[in-house]
Amino acid sequence: MLSVALTRAESLIRTIPDYPEPGVLFRDITPLLADASAVRTVIHSMIAPFEGSFDVVAGVEARGFLLAGAVAMEAGVGMVPIRKAGKLPLPAASVSYALEYGTATIEAHDDIAGRRVLLVDDVLATGGTLVAAHELVQTLGGTVVGTAVLMELTALGGREVVGDVHTVFTA
């Protein structure tokens, strides 16, 4: 059962129909991010199951950066960005993965070698990006100790692909 504060935070997430294409219900977290109390509440919820078990947070581009930065600051650890291909000056590794309409590639520096990593993203949908992020962390010599997302879109089956994921909200 969600606490009153989490219920309030969840109410700030807008659902925008037919964006970016017809039939899609886009979850807009911008109003939640604009509310300091709501952000604090969800960040605490994202950290809680992993408290003390990670050395660094890896955030997946792009909205995952916003949450990962806040998680890292609250936990007193560093944050490493996992970027789309071509956005880092010296990527140490990259992983490509399938999308419904093609492929995508993510990259990261080797700042996670030998470290315990908490992966953070905004949404778990089909799971492809998070599976690739897990592979990328392992390739770079890090150990994924957990994955936390703000929202899981359960109908898209991402959990079956990724495995255990801590989610604050489901839709």
- 100 among known catalytic residues: yes
Catalytic residue among 21, 51, 100, 160: 100
- 63 among known catalytic residues: yes
How distant is the alpha carbon of residue 142 from its chain centre? 17
Separation between Cα atoms, residue 8 and residue 38, nearest integer Å: 7
Secondary element (H or E) of residue 133: helix 128-139
Catalytic residue among 27, 63, 83, 159: 63
Please report, in angstroms and rounded to a whole number, the separation of the first and last CA atoms in the chain. Answer: 15
CB atoms inside a 10 Å sphere around CB 168: 21
Token pair, residue 7, equals: 């219920």
Residues labelled as active-site residues = 63, 100
